[in-house]
Amino acid sequence: MSTAEFTKLSAADRHKLVSVPIDGQGLKTLLEAGMIWLRTNQQNVNSLNVFPVPDGDTGTNMVLTMQAAFDEVANAGTGNAGELAHSIARGALMGARGNSGVILSQIWRGFARALDSEETMTVALLAEALNEAKETAYKGVVRPVEGTILTVIKDIAAQAEVSVQRTDSFTEVLADIVEAADASVARTPELLPILKQAGVVDSGGKGLFYIFEGMWRFVNGDALDKPLTEVLPLSEMNLDDAMETIEPGQDYEVVIDFTPNDGFNLAKYYESLEEIGTSIQVGEGDGMYRMHIHVPTDSRYSPIDHTMELGTIQKVMIENLLAQMDEKKKNKNPKIKLAQVQPGEIAVVTVSPGPGLTRIFASLGVAAIISGGQSMNPSIKEILASFEDLPTDKVIILPNNKNIILAANEAASMTVKQVAVIPTISIPQGLSAMFRLIPDGDFDEIVAEMKGAMAEVETGEITTAVRTVEIDGVQVEKGEVIALHNGKLVTSTRTLDEACEKLLVAADAEDFERITLFYGENMKPAQVNQLADKIRSIYPDHEIEVHEGGQPHYQLIIAIE
């Protein structure tokens, strides 16, 4: 059934689908409920970024991981809970994106291991499965950090063990789990100081809470497709996230700006939109509302007709989603000439967030490029597919982002090829490593050289703050230009030029020889060339280079060597 039909099921029908003990189909139903509620609150999870940068992606990563898990079992008719759990775990693993997605896949792996081939799942077996999920998740991380999704699954498992001692009611145990998860998420800032400093809770832990809360809401007959916070400030609407989770049959994207009539009822507006489509977002600002929805072809004008009855429409945008996705794929995968690796040679696979950077990596001899980066982390399946067909068994992966390293390591562990993951966390580090590539060189020596090259470059990033906060001793105002040096926030200013100058001072740029500016998709060449001239006047003895990067979110990525 469609998502709309699924969320409209009566309480009686929901209880029929999730009867105790839980069989395979009941487990699939709970999985879908958790996925839908997480997707409904995806933007909320994405907004829980420690740094006030516009690239929060935890919610998106977890939704796409859950979607991959559900896709694996969507058409499965088995009633065996253990068999279905293993399929869920397999789908989650291959679709896992980012650190949060990989840990979530480990949670499902442990869950499945406990169920093994059990026909059904009792509340006692649920507690065992959650405990094994916790153990597997912790073992999957080299240096477990408390105050994260790991803490939340640990507290969930502990609560389940207590709850099953007092009741065999699945609903009561699930309610206890959700309450424990909520309390655990609320405590994360006390365990991880950076969260407290930023004034947020852990995003991965919050995502896990939504998954279990979605299961509980389904069992209790509550809505799954309407967020508890029904309207966002316009500045916090993220329509790119909605593009990442297009459902089958939802062919058009409709965005409407309108001024509501007196007596406008937002709750009823949501309810009416739920009858029309999915991926609903409503934002408000300056007396105007903006509505976003995905709809089937036959219903593409329905949101307009309905909204006209409730207010005055200012602007309408209708886009063919499939055409948009095709265009995005073309832009992410420009035609470039990659290195033709011979058998026995070393092949390098790299992740690139923009077409300009992709061309640069190609010129340096990479054999495969994965489009991605912050806010668009590639899945384990995509990373694995990038090198499995290369005609060599020697592969080096450059993730170029700290949120991709875990997925890259998982992909490396799933192949018979000799694969090394160089833990590059930025584009400058990845480019520096590429200069050490000798395709016919000794594999171990080249790996060591590339790892050493990471320390020879400093990384700067310039973007725009999405919220007001004080962090790392820097007072940030929403809308200001902020600079990060090696991932640490160093300044927040009114202009890009000033932010760049202060970044270079913080990075001790005078002690280096070369400064390279990679400008993003929303920055014009004339603007960056003017900035480069100013930098040349400040550092006359340095070599200053400018290249198109094409990356989203960040006006500049800067390499200091």
The pLDDT of residue 227 is 72
Averaged over successive runs of 10 residues, the pLDDT of the chain (561 residues) comes to: 76 82 95 93 87 83 95 92 96 94 96 94 96 96 92 97 94 96 96 91 96 95 76 59 58 91 87 84 82 88 94 91 63 72 96 94 95 85 95 96 94 96 96 96 97 96 91 90 94 95 96 96 92 95 95 94 95
The pLDDT of residue 47 is 84
φ, ψ at 375 (rounded to 5°) = 80, -5
The pLDDT of residue 74 is 93
Q: Is 227 left (phi over 0), alpha (psi -120 to 50) or beta?
A: beta
Domain architecture of the chain: domains with CATH: 3-219 (1.25.40.340), 232-327 (3.30.70.260), 333-456 (3.40.50.510), 459-560 (3.30.1180)
What's the Cα-to-Cα distance from 260 to each of 229, 256, 295, 416, rounded to whole Å?
Answer: 19, 12, 22, 60
Report d(CA 548, CA 241) in Å as an integer: 25
Is the CB of residue 319 less than 8 Å from the CB of residue 357? Answer: no
Q: Which residues have CB under 8 Å from 397's CB, separation 6+?
A: 348, 349, 350, 383, 387, 408, 411, 412, 419, 420, 421, 422
Q: State the DSSP string of 250-267.
A: --EEEEEEEEEPTT--HH
